[in-house]
């Protein structure tokens, strides 16, 4: 194992072998098989505590973005730590409730909420709908009236600021589908203010993910603040400001501001408003708390490149294929093989199926590798492409390792498929 990696919290190196807390990666792979998602409970707990500390005495609510990692055990851990949740579907809401999360700490984001999802959220009594269009507001109003409930709403402002991140995960620009501009937001607030079943209680935005600078946050906060003051002058008094998620993590050599630095700068701008601050972090809580363990199946010398074919693929971890994302790949134990440069690829039949390119590794067939920074948007973006069962997930705490999701069985893959009679009988 090379020693130039910046090891994330929860992972460490003991005499050249990779450990998650007090359990070696090799023993986890042996016990549970590969590919395997491994998470450190301590790392998640500490990352959450960093956000809590960053707010200090300020009135606040941290709503973990469920899409980053939606395993029920992890949601339950976060719920116990006092976390709220940012959801984008009825499915995520049901996960939060199944995990014992408090509906009163749930905000519901997303550009397309169905009537059924809105009804579910209203019935559960969520904290707030983060509304993204006039049509959505009208639908919420109609459903609230039918259910005889009052729907708390926030309008998602699209502040037209550049988050300076990958264009697929940038959400706060005019050309993006998210949120509404300030003019439309004012119309929506007026409509909500005049409705007897809508209650405008907050304002929100989310400008993108894996942000490595504070400036785009400050820019959007400036726009949020202007709108809050404008609404106040019209008699609409909001209680909270939700600045969304998006703070990045270190995957390679990014310099990422701390949660404290971000919140300090936001508070400098917002404290005078005396509102509750909300945030929707996903990646910064779980990203570096997870790794994907995978075994080298084949070493193959191509004419131009050398490949390490591993047993995890783009269906297990999509980020490299989808965003050309770079994640550290390391040997989990010293093996003695001469370090050479490999493309680390999966068995899926696509040239885009790679976990890393041009990585220097000392490996032989059968060795175990770890892909770091896999705790966020890893398992949640996995699929069954190529009829590959999804990986198992394990949560490690000290010397204990608990399976929090069993490896899928091949039969699970076609459990919902049906054979219509004419096909079954061949007629
Ligand atoms: N709030 C809203 C409304 C969001 O859309 C997102 C993420 C978050 C919060 C959490 O953002 P975070 O703190 O995790 O950056 N699959 C991509 C990331 C997509 C992010 C989508 N929205 C990736 O793997 O990089």
Instruction: Say what the pLDDT of residue 4 is.
Output: 52
CATH number of the domain bearing residue 237: 3.20.20.10
Domain boundary among 259, 281, 303: 281
Instruction: Say what the pLDDT of residue 160 is.
Output: 87
Domain count, the chain: 2
Inter-axis angle of helices 90-98 and 72-80, to 10 degrees? 60
The conformation of residue 338, written as its DSSP 8-state character, comes to: P
Q: Which residue in the list 205, 335, 349, 418 is annotated as catalytic?
A: 349
**Among the atoms of ligand 1, which is closest to the Cα of residue 319?**
24
pLDDT digits (tens, 9 = 90+) for 13-37: 998 999 999 999 999 999 999 999 9
pLDDT digits (tens, 9 = 90+) for 286-313: 999 999 999 999 999 989 999 999 999 9
- Per residue in 259-271, is it b (16+ CB within 10 Å) or e — as a string? beebbebbbeebe
Residue 400 has pLDDT above 90, yes or no: yes
Q: Domain span at residue 314?
A: 11-40+287-414
Q: For residue 211, is it within any domain?
A: yes
Where do runs of H (alpha helix) occur along 234-375?
Answer: 259-270, 283-286, 319-323
CA distance 293 to 326: 16
Residue 133 has pLDDT above 90, yes or no: yes
Residues 135 and 159 in one domain: yes
**Model confidence band, residue 5 (pLDDT cutoffs 50, 70, 90):** low
**Ligand 1 close to Cβ of residue 246 (< 6 A):** yes
pLDDT digits (tens, 9 = 90+) for 202-235: 999 999 999 999 999 999 999 999 999 999 999 9
63 carries an active-site annotation? no
**Among the atoms of ligand 1, which is closest to the Cα of residue 156?**
3
Residue 336 has pLDDT above 90, yes or no: no
CA distance 256 to 401: 30
Q: 65 C-alpha vs ligand 1 centroid, how far in Å?
A: 7
**Ligand 1 close to Cβ of residue 69 (< 6 A):** no
Residue 381 has pLDDT above 60, yes or no: yes
Of the chain, the percentage scoring pLDDT greater than 70 comes to 99
Q: For residue 301, is it within any domain?
A: yes
Please provide the average confidence, as pLDDT, over all residues in the chain.
96
**Ligand 1 close to Cβ of residue 79 (< 6 A):** no
Instruction: Say what the pLDDT of residue 3 is.
Output: 46
Residue 53 has pLDDT above 50, yes or no: yes
Domain boundary among 219, 250, 281: 281
Q: 281 C-alpha vs ligand 1 centroid, how far in Å?
A: 8
37 contacts 52 by C-beta, under 8 angstroms:
no
Pocket test for ligand 1, best of 88, 89, 159, 245 (most atoms within 8 A of CB): 245
Q: For residue 81, is it within any domain?
A: no
Element (H, E) at 189: helix 182-194
Residues 189 and 303 in one domain: no
Polymer length of the chain: 427
Q: For residue 85, is it within any domain?
A: no
């Amino acid at each position: 194992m090379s020693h130039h990696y910046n090891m994330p919290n929860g992972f460490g190196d003991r005499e050249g072998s990779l450990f998650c807390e007090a359990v070696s990666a090799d023993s986890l792979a042996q016990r549970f098989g590969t590919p395997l998602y491994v998470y450190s409970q301590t790392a998640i707990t500490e990352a959450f505590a960093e956000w809590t500390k960053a707010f200090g005495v300020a009135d606040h609510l941290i709503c973990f973005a469920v899409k980053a990692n939606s395993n029920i055990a992890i949601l339950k851990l976060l719920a116990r730590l006092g976390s709220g949740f940012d959801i984008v579907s009825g499915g995520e809401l049901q996960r939060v409730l199944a995990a014992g999360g408090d509906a009163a700490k749930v905000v519901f984001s997303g550009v397309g909420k169905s009537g059924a999802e809105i009804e579910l959220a209203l019935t559960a009594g969520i904290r707030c709908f983060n509304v993204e269009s006039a049509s959505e507001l009208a639908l919420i109003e109609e459903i609230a009236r039918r259910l005889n409930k009052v729907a708390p709403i926030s309008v998602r402002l699209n502040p037209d600021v550049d988050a300076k991140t990958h264009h697929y995960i940038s959400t706060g620009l005019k050309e993006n589908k998210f949120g509404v501009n300030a003019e439309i937001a004012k119309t929506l607030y007026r409509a909500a203010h005049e409705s007897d079943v809508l209650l405008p209680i907050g304002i929100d935005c989310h400008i993108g993910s894996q942000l490595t600078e504070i400036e785009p946050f400050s820019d959007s906060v400036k726009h949020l603040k202007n709108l809050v003051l404008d609404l106040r002058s019209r008699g609409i008094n909001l209680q909270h400001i939700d600045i969304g998620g998006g703070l990045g993590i270190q995957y390679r050599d990014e310099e990422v501001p701390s949660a404290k630095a971000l919140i300090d700068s936001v508070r400098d701008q917002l404290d005078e408003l005396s509102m509750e601050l909300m945030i929707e972090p996903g990646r910064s809580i779980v990203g570096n708390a997870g790794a994907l363990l995978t075994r080298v199946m084949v070493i193959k010398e191509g004419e131009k490149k050398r490949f390490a074919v591993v047993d995890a693929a783009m269906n297990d971890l999509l980020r490299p294929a989808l965003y050309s994302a770079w994640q550290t790949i390391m040997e989990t134990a010293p093996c003695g093989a001469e370090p050479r440069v490999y493309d680390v690829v999966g068995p899926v039949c696509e040239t885009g199926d790679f976990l890393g390119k041009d990585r220097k590794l000392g490996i032989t067939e059968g060795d175990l590798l770890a892909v770091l920074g896999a705790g966020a948007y890893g398992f949640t973006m996995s699929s069954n492409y190529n009829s590959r069962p999804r990986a198992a997930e394990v949560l490690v705490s000290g010397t204990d390792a608990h399976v929090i999701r069993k490896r899928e069985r091949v039969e699970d893959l076609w459990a919902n498929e049906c054979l219509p009679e004419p096909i079954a009988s061949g007629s």
